[in-house]
Structure formats: C-alpha cells, structure tokens
Structure 1
Amino acid sequence: MVVNWGILGAGKFAREEMGPAIHAASGARLVALGTSSAEKAAPFQAFAPDLVVHDTYDAVLADPAVDAVYVPLPNHLHIEWAMKALAAGKHVLVEKPVGLKAAEIDPLMARRDETGLQAAEAYMIAHHPQWHRVRHLLADGAIGTLAHVDGIFTYNNPDLTNVRYDAAKGGGSLPDIGVYTIGSTILATGQTPDQITHADIDMLNGVDVRARVSVRFDGFTAHWVTAMNIHDSQWMSFVGSHGRIDVLAPFNAGKVGEAQIRIVQAGGGTRVERWPAVRQYVLQVEAFGAAMRGEAAFGWTLEQAKTTQEVIDRIYAA
C-alpha cells in the first residue's frame, strides 16, 4: 500500500523538510498541497511534478486521492485541522506541539479512537536510531543509575514579526523547542517529572523567549534551557552513577552536525557512536505508513505528546 499524502499549507518547514521527506520515503507519495499561492506551490511542484494544488485546506481534505494529511500550520491551528482531517476520513500527522494546552489533546485522542484512524504528533527524533540507542543504553544500565539530565536548545531569531513571537498563535520557546528538551527526556527514560522545582522565564510580546527549568523525577533531576534570542546551541547529557551519555546534534541531526552519542564510563573509557546519513523525517513518514498498514506501532503517540504538554503547562503555572 502506497500512502498518498496531502499537506495543509506551503510554509518553509513543509517546503524544505517534510515535503521532500514524503517524496523520498518508501511507500509514500505526495499528491496534494493546500495553498492559494502559486509562488509558494512552485518549489513543491519542482520535486513532485504530479502534485495537485488545491486553493483551500478543505479541498485537500475532500480529495479522494489523499489517504493521510500532514498539518504544519501555526500552533493554534493544529487541533482544529487535525480534527477536520479525521472527520474527513484522513489519517493525520500533526506538527508539534499538537495543542496549546494538554486538555486540548483529549478530543483528538477520542476522535482517533472513534474513527480507528492514525493520528500522531510529528516528533521526528522518536524515529532516529540515535535516540533508540540512548533509550537502550539507559535501560541497560550502561552508565549505572541515572542521576541527572541536562538539556539545552536555543536559537537566535531577531524577527519579532515571526509567528513564534505571537502569543495568540501559540508562540514561545517552550511550545516551539521545549518539546525537544522535555520530550526527549521523557522518551529516553520513560518517566515524567514529579515536581517542577524551579522555573525562570523571560517574556517578550507575551511569549517566553528564554526559559530555565529545573525538575525532579523519581530518582533523578533535570535542568532544561530553551531560548529564541541567543546563539544556536543544542545538546542533551545523561549523567549516571558510573558514566555519562552526551547526545550531540540531538534534534536537528544532519543540519547542526552529525548525529552522535559519546559514552563516557567509569575508569576513563570513552566511545563515540555515529549516524552520519540518517534522514529522520523520512523515517518518520515511513513509520507512519507502517502504522497505517498495521505493520508496527508508531513511535510517538498522542498520549506521549500530551505528557510533554502537561509538563509545559505545569512549568507555566510554576
């Protein structure tokens, strides 16, 4: 079964990452795009010349050739259009964050269960072997008992007209990239924090532009830093009683550097594992297709997405 995909919107990320990934993925085909701009549609048609361009999102949902829909719209529109996609009988992959509040995700999970269709958050790192390996090493006790996690994800976007600076559209560093530092900790450990011990947030235009958060899990602590107005940085580090795992290029593997993990163990032994050519967005599309065909469970559920959003909600409340 080849999955025919439609995309709602022709934004930069869909144009540069997910559109090409759908086109390149095994068992997938990009057949429809929703945009009223011929100029924005042109780059998609350059790599997918048979693409049908609809001038409305509703027309994409009504297209009988479309099996699955990818929703890369601004954050505040994710739930609305994901619900519409399911109502139209389409499987749906929604960009992160799925909702602006954890409670908003509940109706989407209910609709997913009612329809029997696939609905998931596009959390691409869950499909990268780099993170599969981190999860395995932690579970296997490679660094002893986990004691602390450090995570940072920052970039510098000075354009205050960007949607990330718009509170009404779900802007802010935590919704945009906190899903990575927080979500990857949850993904790797299988745990959620018991307590928010510290939350220091800098606000601008009604959104958080910089957040420093400390939390306590059962048996270990974590500290996360996210920012939209300082130099680009990203890494994760898991420190245990007998070693440390450093995750290099943990989120934008291949763009900010090679995906690597550095394992430092007691006694001074260090080894590095590398994944130089993995295309995580392609893997995500292929995994979604496998889930649609009933071949394997998708690697990141709406329940997991809700757990991450619950932590973000608690950070804001703190």
Structure 2
Amino acid sequence: MADWGFLGAGSIAASSLAPAVHAAHGPRLHAVAATDPRRARALDPARVYTDYGELLDDPAVDIVYVALHNSAHRPWVERALRAGKHVLCEKPLGLTAAEVAAMTATARASGRLLVEAAWNRWHPRTRDLEGLITRGAIGTVHSVTARFDGLAPAPGNYRLDPALGGGALYDVGYYAVSAALAAFGWRAPRVVRAEQDHWRPGSADSATRVLLEFPGRGTAEVGCSLLGAVAETFTATGTDGSITLAPPAYCAGSAPSALTATGADRRHYPAQNPYRLMVEAVDAAVGGDTAAHLVPLAQSHLIATTLDAVRGHLARGDG
C-alpha cells in the first residue's frame, strides 16, 4: 500500500488516474501539485502543493505520477527518481530514445521503479493480443494495419505545439506504433515511407502516415491524426490467419470490447478500467510483487527509437 503524488492535474489526471487511484485496492492519493490549486483539490488528495519540488520533498510520497506535457517528462521524472520516488510517467515517456535511455539509467542508479503509463497495455484484450501472437496463434506475422484518428485539440492545447512534444504521432500515433511493434515481436523496423500534415506552418503534426518494414518478416501500415474524425483500427495478418481488434482498438475500457482471431472463437471482454489495473500493478510492484505486470522499459525505448526514425525520415525528406 503506497502513497501517491501527482505532478500535474490536467485532463488525464482528473478524468482517469485520480479516479483509478481512489478506486484501487491499496494505493492512496496523498498529494497533488499543480500551478492551479483548485484543479489539484478537485482530485481529492490529502495535500495540495503549488510547487512540484515541494511534493518531491514530501517524505510520505512513495510513487510519483508525472502528468505534465511531453517535453517536461524527462526533467521531472529524473528529479523524482533522484528524490527517491518510484515513477509512473505518462506516455510517451521521452521525446527521444536518448531521453528514455537517460531516464532508464537514472532509475537504475537510484534503485527506483520507472514505468511508462501506456494504460491500454494493462487491458486484458491487449494482453491477450500479445500473448496470442507470441504463441503463434496466427503463425508468423507478415503484415499489420494500425490506425488511430483522434479528436482535434482545443486552441492553446499543448498538442498543437511541437516545442512541448505535441502532435498526432506522439499522442495517438504512439498507440498504433506500439501495437505494430508488439505484433512483430518487438523487433526494430526500418522506415520505408513517412508523410505528415500540419494544422498550420510551424505547428505540430495533425496527421502522420508511416510504412514500417521489419526485415525478413513483413510490413506495417501505421496512420494517426488529430483532426476530429475518431477511429481506432488494428489487424495483424500471419501465415496461419489474422487477429482483429474490434473498434476502439486501443482505448477500450469503459465499454465491452472484442477480439477476433482466425480459427478461434471471438473473445469478448466486459467493461474494464485499465487505469486502475495499471495503478494496482505499479503499486504492487513497488510493494515487492515480482509477478505484477509492467511495461518493460526496453519496449518503451524501442517505441521511442521508432518515433525517432520516423522523424528522421521526415527531416531528410525521404518521402
């Protein structure tokens, strides 16, 4: 049973993580730090701070959840780790693979747990998908189609600003890219083609389309956008069949969901709270449960490496 402290009280913290901590068995929301104390109090913690550093100095806080904009992840993750806190950080963990590697090294040096809050990875359907593919239920995967089209950001939202780590690729693209990597057994791909659109010159990407090649295995068509036409699709095809996730492919939780695999019955999943499952797993791991399900940092690093490769391809104008 651990005491949690939140850095940030934005929409995800308010709508998902705080309710998950309050509903979970064991964790307690001890403190929230936010520039607006009213937003912090709305999460119903025992204590409210307006200075992030003061929360890190609170000896009662065992686990820090970092809910800040993407470009603030690394500095506050590392400060929290060096303060002796375990850390759950919103995805993407870092803006680059080098940032993820640096945070991983800091976690190792501090002897503290660091986990990327890719909440959908705790959903039973996502875990079944990865397990079925690993066990060869559809043979050897040779092609994947993965797409996530999300809501358009409101004016002033950090997702519009490339300096803050905004854009469709970092946001909803993360889910589609990570699902493609999982389908190919977490192998490193080569970027064959990449295209981006922008809301306006100088803004972050409003849409990204990528073709990834996994040498000797196959390809993944990955697309994402933040233009308002919401859609989430995923299909992996192998030598012996295919697996499709019924929409929404990535953000299932509050409603029942399903998975269809060739040669197997359609699997149905009741409404879940993957945020709560994630919180409980991290809390258990901090308490010494070695069987608690966590997203490996090696996978977080590969996702970041792949996003680096996409951005590098675009910067070179390779098409």
Counterpart AA for 1:258: P
- 3-state secondary structure, aligned to 1:176: coil
1:177 equivalent in alignment to 2:175: no
- Whole-angstrom distance in 2 between the partners of 1:25 and 1:189: 33
The structure-2 alpha-carbon separation of the partners of 1:58 and 1:115, relative to structure 1 and needing over 3 Å to count, comes to: same
1:306 equivalent in alignment to 2:301: yes
Counterpart AA for 1:244: S
Aligned equivalent of 1:103? 98
Matching of residues 212-291 of structure 1 within 5 Å:
212-217=209-214, 218-248=216-246, 249-255=248-254, 257-265=255-263, 271-291=265-285
Deviations 1:248-273 (A, max 9, x none): 22321134x432101234xxxx6321
Q: Percent identity?
A: 33
The structure-2 alpha-carbon separation of the partners of 1:264 and 1:119, relative to structure 1 and needing over 3 Å to count, comes to: same
Measure how far apart 1:188 and its partner are: 4.0
Deviations 1:263-288 (A, max 9, x none): 234xxxx6321111321111111111
Measure how far apart 1:158 and its partner are: 5.2
Counterpart AA for 2:75: E
CA contact (8 A) 2:91 2:116 kept: yes
Measure how far apart 1:13 and its partner are: 0.8
CA contact (8 A) 1:135 1:189 kept: no
Counterpart AA for 2:192: T
1:206 equivalent in alignment to 2:216: no
Aligned equivalent of 1:18? 17
Aligned equivalent of 2:31? 32
Counterpart AA for 1:219: R
Deviations 1:22-48 (A, max 9, x none): 111122111101024242134212xx5
> Which ranges in structure 2 are unaligned for 5 or more consecutive residues?
314-319
Q: 1:163 aligns with which of 154, 158, 161?
A: 158
CA contact (8 A) 1:193 1:215 kept: no
Measure how far apart 1:208 and its partner are: 1.3
TM-score for both structures, normalised by structure 2: 0.91
Aligned equivalent of 2:317? none
Aligned equivalent of 2:187? 192
CA RMSD after TM alignment: 1.7
1:93 equivalent in alignment to 2:92: no
Moved over 6 A (4+): none
Deviations 1:95-131 (A, max 9, x none): 0111111111222111111111001111112222111
> Which ranges in structure 1 are unaligned for 5 or more consecutive residues?
none
Aligned equivalent of 2:120? 125
Deviations 1:164-187 (A, max 9, x none): 001110111111122111112223
The structure-2 alpha-carbon separation of the partners of 1:240 and 1:187, relative to structure 1 and needing over 3 Å to count, comes to: closer
The structure-2 alpha-carbon separation of the partners of 1:182 and 1:168, relative to structure 1 and needing over 3 Å to count, comes to: same
